Chain A
Amino acid sequence: MAKQMHPTPMLDALESGPWPSFVTGLKRLAQDKDYVVDLLGQLETSYRTRKGYWKGGTVGVFGYGGGIIPRFTELKDEAGKPIFPDAAEFHTLRVMPPAGMHYNTDVLRQLCDIWERHGSGLIAFHGQSGDIMFQGATSENVQKAFDELNELGFDLGGAGPAVRTSMSCVGAARCEQSCYDEATAHRTVINSFLDDIHRPSLPYKFKFKFSGCPNDCMNSIQRADMAVIGTWRDNIRTDDALAKKWFAKHGMNELVNDVVARCPTKAIQLKEIKDLKPGASVSTVALNDTHALEIENRDCVRCMHCINVMTGALAPGKDKGATVLVGGKRTLKIGDLMGTVVVPFMKLESDEDREKLVELGQKIIDFFAENALEHERTGEMIERIGIVNFLEALEIPIDPNMVSSPRTNPYVRMDGWDDEVAKMKAAKKVA
């Protein structure tokens, strides 16, 4: 039995209602741990005063420079003593999850046992960067908890100006829309940058994220410095049986309004079967005995909408790979930036393919380390220096897929134009 609870009328109000309550969970932990009794005391104070009371510091594990988020209480009395002394230190261990966040109950129970022994007993599955967050350990216990987690096969994630923990979608393990082996790519890439994760020495954070298709379930385009998004080059695959089943259930109105009309590039046409015009870049799928969809794959931008609506009846092609985008981030300091295309397509099937992805990541991180200002993300750096300088430094050939339109202003010095044209022609000949 732990010491007596502090009154928590504000937090108590979060125990009612149907959604699972973290307060009820904390109170359960507080039955055995003075640590959590005092944590609830401080949290209740925050609810009352509407102020936060944690400050950072320097806590780590032996051999690493990052991965622990230190928290010391600032809620002190006039003599400078913590008002809730048992929770004066409340550090978090960021631990990298398995790709796709798959677990079995055996490993989850072991994680719980370790954290019950050495920490608060509070675990978040998962933080916004994808870490399992083991929340609440004293400075003394951080190393003990890490040692056991590490022996179980887990490792710390990133914090500070470092390569960060990554995420990948459920992908090939369960999703028919998967366009590459997300888990293997994720693990191969991240485990090639462990030094940059564990010993922060970059200008600022650098995030990789891996989504298996353009639905981008990992939100990589808006959050990752380097987003790897699955796609395909050949024709959309079709299945008449599933298409007929879909059409029988949903009918013509839904087909026209939800599928044909919502194609962003009008690549899909509804036709009578007798009028279909098959071709090398055309996919067709019958809906019944008289009508079919005809898709001009050269016009398709691989947005996924029709495939999402008619899953199985329409499916990504077979010549799969990924598009790589660079520079996504949120707000600070210059405003939101989406990642933009740096590699329109690369295969990701073999170890050699994945090695090329690692090399690309290494080149980008090296350039970032050399050229970004302190606290500047890749997107901000590219905004400052221009994408062409970035691409030339990385020796990545330019491609019209990288722009939404050519420039709309004449403010550029162009006396190298003829040389560039000659270079492009020479490159085309080689290819």
Chain B
Amino acid sequence: MAQAQMRRAIESGVPDNRPFLHPKFAANYGNWKYHDRPRPGVLHHVSHTGDEVWSVRAGTQRQMDVATIRKLCDIADRFAESHVRFTIRSNIEFMVSSADKVAPLIAELEKNGFPVGGTGNSVSMIAHTQGWLHCDIPGTDASGAVKALMDELIDEFRSEQMPNRVHLSTSCCEINCGGQADIAIIIQHTKPPVINHDLVANVCERPAVVARCPVAAIRPALVNGKPSLEVDEKKCICCGACYPPCPPMQINDPEHSKFAIWVGGKNSNARAKPTFMKMVAAGIPNNPPRWPEVSAVVKQILAAYKADARSWERLSDWVERIGWPRFFEKTGLPFTKYLIDDWRGARVNLNASAHIRF
């Protein structure tokens, strides 16, 4: 009766966060009045009762070994007040209840290699995915590309010199788990899947794979006497949607899986309604371990935005003002026919007006 000895799970769900809240957070819950930023990387919140709390934000590598986490805990115990939280972009925040603890905490974090910043009008840590480390369908790595890019952008993380905040993301396939961002770096496959016909019948539920294709390019076929699938390569848009349900339809190609760069995604409702990002560059090689060609394009876009956008303009607001022709001119990126939308609903992305900037 092996099963009788199995431990039954306690279906406790989301843990109560109250035991983990910094005492000032618990005491002033729902009663904060305003905040300011005494310096990059530090938030200072003041409550209606006059209570104050300082939060110091530092970058992490997200995929952390236990020694790194214990080091962060040591810093929190010795230089802060043993309460931390993580942001959606994998930054860690240390809370302290007096201003004089801020500088020693920052010094200790920097001394141990955790850059302090990521607040306000900075380039914050890149939201990213798993990549070769753990994903079953990755076209590239995530942690490595992020490390390489953050090495180059660390000054922009530590300062608040951008026109508005800049959110970056990377994704290892077109599913885009990294999500919408001001600048997103996403694998773009350029060749149809290579099919191992010996395996399809045993591994893939063929009707489900046929149904997964956005352009109906996949059909059942008998190949070498075995039931398999074939792809109409003229129809195929190389999206890779067939690969997760059918791993023998290999979409990743060391040579032909390229990077595309997208800009102008914004989830906030501030000013304009939320926007989706738009593809502005492609054909960038997948070049580990440091992906220099990707970093070059991202830095090109950031430099143009930093130089030209007005204060409080997110990347999407900036392009809205200057227009796409000037965006391509200022960034030096080529505008090709592949950047003109022809997917469903594409006509809303055409210029149905005589609004032209000269």
Any A CB within 8 A of the CB of B332:
no
With A104-B82, A105-B77, A126-B86 in contact, is A20–B11 under 8 Å at CB? no
Please give the number of chain B residues whose Cβ is less than 8 angstroms from any Cβ of chain A in the complex: 117
**B85 touching A170, Cβ below 8 Å:** yes
Any A CB within 8 A of the CB of B283:
no
With A19-B115, A105-B73, A181-B30 in contact, is A187–B254 under 8 Å at CB? no
- Residues from 343 to 375 in A contacting B, C-beta threshold 8 Å: 373-375
Partner among A52, A69, A100 whose Cβ is within 8 Å of the Cβ of B252: A52
Any A CB within 8 A of the CB of B178:
yes
**B270 touching A304, Cβ below 8 Å:** yes
20 contacting pairs across A/B (C-beta < 8 A) = A19-B147, A23-B147, A43-B133, A50-B140, A96-B13, A97-B15, A100-B17, A104-B19, A104-B82, A121-B66, A124-B64, A128-B179, A176-B45, A194-B13, A219-B179, A222-B179, A305-B271, A305-B312, A308-B270, A335-B343
List of B residues within 8 angstroms of A264 by Cβ: 271-272
Smallest CB–CB gap between A21 and chain B, Å? 6
**B270 touching A220, Cβ below 8 Å:** no
- Residues from 260 to 293 in A contacting B, C-beta threshold 8 Å: 262, 264
Any B CB within 8 A of the CB of A393:
no
Any B CB within 8 A of the CB of A297:
no
Any B CB within 8 A of the CB of A223:
yes
Residue of A with least CB distance to B72: A108
Residue of A with least CB distance to B82: A105
- Residues from 71 to 127 in A contacting B, C-beta threshold 8 Å: 71, 90, 92, 96-109, 111-112, 115-116, 121-127
Counting residue pairs across A and B whose Cβ atoms lie within 8 Å, the total is 361
- Residues from 207 to 240 in A contacting B, C-beta threshold 8 Å: 214-223, 229, 239
List of A residues within 8 angstroms of B92 by Cβ: 125
**A186 touching B14, Cβ below 8 Å:** yes
**A20 touching B61, Cβ below 8 Å:** yes
**B34 touching A96, Cβ below 8 Å:** no
Interface residues of A (CB under 8 A from B): 10-11, 13-14, 16-23, 25-26, 28-29, 43, 46-47, 49-56, 61-64, 69, 71, 90, 92, 96-109, 111-112, 115-116, 121-128, 135-136, 143, 146-147, 150-151, 153-156, 166-167, 169-170, 172-176, 178, 181, 183, 186-187, 190-191, 194, 197-198, 214-223, 229, 239, 242, 254, 257-258, 262, 264, 301-305, 308-309, 311-313, 315, 330-336, 338, 373-375
Residue of B with least CB distance to A229: B269
Once bound together, how far apart are the Cα atoms of A311 and B32, in whole Å? 11
Once bound together, how far apart are the Cα atoms of A336 and B151, in whole Å? 31
- Residues from 1 to 41 in B contacting A, C-beta threshold 8 Å: 3, 6-17, 19-22, 25-26, 29-30, 32-36
With A146-B9, A219-B88 in contact, is A22–B208 under 8 Å at CB? no
Once bound together, how far apart are the Cα atoms of A126 and B69, in whole Å? 13
Partner among B22, B36, B133 whose Cβ is within 8 Å of the Cβ of A311: B36
List of B residues within 8 angstroms of A175 by Cβ: 32, 35, 45
**A99 touching B147, Cβ below 8 Å:** no
Smallest CB–CB gap between A13 and chain B, Å? 4
Any A CB within 8 A of the CB of B113:
yes
**B69 touching A221, Cβ below 8 Å:** no
List of B residues within 8 angstroms of A111 by Cβ: 69
List of A residues within 8 angstroms of B62 by Cβ: 22, 124-125
Once bound together, how far apart are the Cα atoms of A422 and B152, in whole Å? 64
Interface residues of B (CB under 8 A from A): 3, 6-17, 19-22, 25-26, 29-30, 32-36, 43, 45-46, 53, 55, 59-70, 72-73, 76-77, 82-88, 90, 92, 113-115, 127-141, 143-144, 147-148, 150-151, 154, 174-180, 208, 211-212, 214, 239, 241, 247, 252, 254, 257, 265, 267-272, 274, 276, 286, 288-290, 310-312, 343-345
With A19-B151, A54-B135, A107-B20 in contact, is A47–B289 under 8 Å at CB? yes
Once bound together, how far apart are the Cα atoms of A426 and B5, in whole Å? 62
List of B residues within 8 angstroms of A121 by Cβ: 65-66
**A98 touching B15, Cβ below 8 Å:** yes
List of B residues within 8 angstroms of A218 by Cβ: 88
**B9 touching A150, Cβ below 8 Å:** yes
Smallest CB–CB gap between A99 and chain B, Å? 5
With A22-B143, A47-B289, A173-B21 in contact, is A155–B269 under 8 Å at CB? no
**B21 touching A102, Cβ below 8 Å:** yes
Closest 8 CB pairs of A and B: A312-B34, A17-B151, A25-B65, A98-B17, A50-B254, A46-B132, A214-B269, A191-B13
